[in-house]
């Protein structure tokens, strides 16, 4: 049990990016899927996030949680599930994909990288831009490439969630733009993220600070795409390095973060806030 004592700092850096809180940890709680039984720290009163969970990645043990089973809007952390299905269903990431009119629509105010109708891109670049830059149109393009339609892909997302035992997760799109029936929980999102981080391709992209797109029939050059996860650019005394994973924001969901990092003892944690 003492293994977790004194590990408050990693939570500070992972969780405080969104909740601006200082946390202290007691002893570990049961495996992912079980409720915490440890007495809460008095410092938890300082946390403003409505829901969060911290998990040791190698064991799945929950170190800290609050409202982890409450339904929340996931915003662009939705793209973690989109990436899982893309990685598991695309055989060759050098394959070319053509963007359709529905594919390039990022949704009202959605993040995008200005892919044009009829633009032909390597599907690996589409995946990279979605994970690193959180480009909404890339989620749509991947969806249509894999399932033939966005609706068909969303069905695959929900089927995958069901197969993973996620009873409080439901998708309505591939990118995370707000819909009242598009939701998950901190616990479910942690489960999705742990699954994704076990995929080498996802882990490779989730830690990239920048991504450079290949030339296309509509772009001779692209602006460099920088990762939306600001923790990747920071040094800290609290951990050795950040290993991922994904940010999200909508006006309804507010700031969402899935972050992972390795501490000085080589233990990797994943935090959802």
**Cα(185)–Cα(81) distance, integer angstroms:** 13
Count Cβ atoms below 10 Å from residue 91 Cβ, excluding itself.
6
In the annotation, is 76 catalytic?
A: yes
| Catalytic entry in 37, 61, 100, 134 | 134
Closest CA to 239 of 16, 84, 65: 16
The catalytically annotated residue of 22, 61, 79, 100 is 79
Q: Count CA atoms closer than 13 A to 112's CA, side-chain side.
A: 15
Kindly give the residue spans of alpha helices, DSSP state H, lying in the chain.
8-19, 79-89, 123-133, 136-147, 150-163, 186-197, 200-206
* Torsional class of 236: left (φ above 0), alpha (ψ -120 to 50), beta (otherwise): beta
Is residue 134 among the annotated active site residues?
yes
**154: its two tokens:** 């969303």
Residue 234 phi, psi dihedral angles, 5° rounding: -100, 145
Total residues belonging to the chain? 273
Q: Is 27 helix (H, G, I), strand (E, B) or coil?
A: coil
The whole-angstrom separation of Cα 269 and Cα 25 is: 13
Which of these, 8, 32, 168, 155, lies nearest to 82 by C-alpha position? Answer: 155
160 is catalytic: no
For the annotated catalytic residues, the residue numbers are 76, 79, 134
């Amino acid at each position: 049990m003492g293994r977790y004592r004194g590990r408050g700092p990693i939570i500070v850096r992972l969780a405080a990016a969104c909740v601006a809180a200082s946390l202290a940890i007691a002893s570990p709680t049961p495996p992912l899927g079980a409720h915490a039984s440890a007495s809460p720290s008095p410092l938890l009163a300082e946390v403003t996030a409505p829901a969060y969970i911290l998990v040791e990645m190698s064991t799945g043990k929950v170190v800290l949680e609050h409202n982890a089973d409450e339904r929340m809007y996931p915003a662009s952390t939705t793209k973690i599930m989109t990436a899982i299905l893309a990685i598991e269903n695309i055989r060759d990431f050098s394959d070319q994909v053509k963007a359709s009119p529905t594919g390039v629509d990022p949704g009202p105010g959605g993040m995008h990288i200005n892919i044009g109708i009829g633009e032909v891109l390597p599907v690996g670049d589409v995946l990279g831009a979605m994970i690193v830059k959180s480009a909404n149109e890339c989620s749509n393009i991947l969806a249509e490439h894999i399932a033939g339609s966005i609706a068909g892909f969303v069905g695959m997302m929900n089927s995958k969630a069901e197969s993973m035992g996620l009873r409080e997760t439901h998708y309505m799109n591939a990118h995370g733009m707000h819909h009242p029936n598009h939701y998950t929980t901190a616990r479910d999102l942690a489960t999705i993220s742990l699954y994704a981080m076990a995929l080498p391709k996802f882990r490779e992209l989730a830690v990239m600070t920048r991504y450079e797109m290949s030339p296309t029939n509509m772009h001779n050059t692209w602006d460099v795409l920088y990762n939306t996860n600001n923790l990747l650019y920071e040094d800290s005394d609290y951990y050795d390095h950040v290993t991922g994973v994904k940010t999200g924001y909508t006006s309804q969901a507010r700031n969402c973060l899935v972050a992972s990092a390795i501490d000085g003892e080589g233990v990797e944690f994943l935090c959802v806030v």
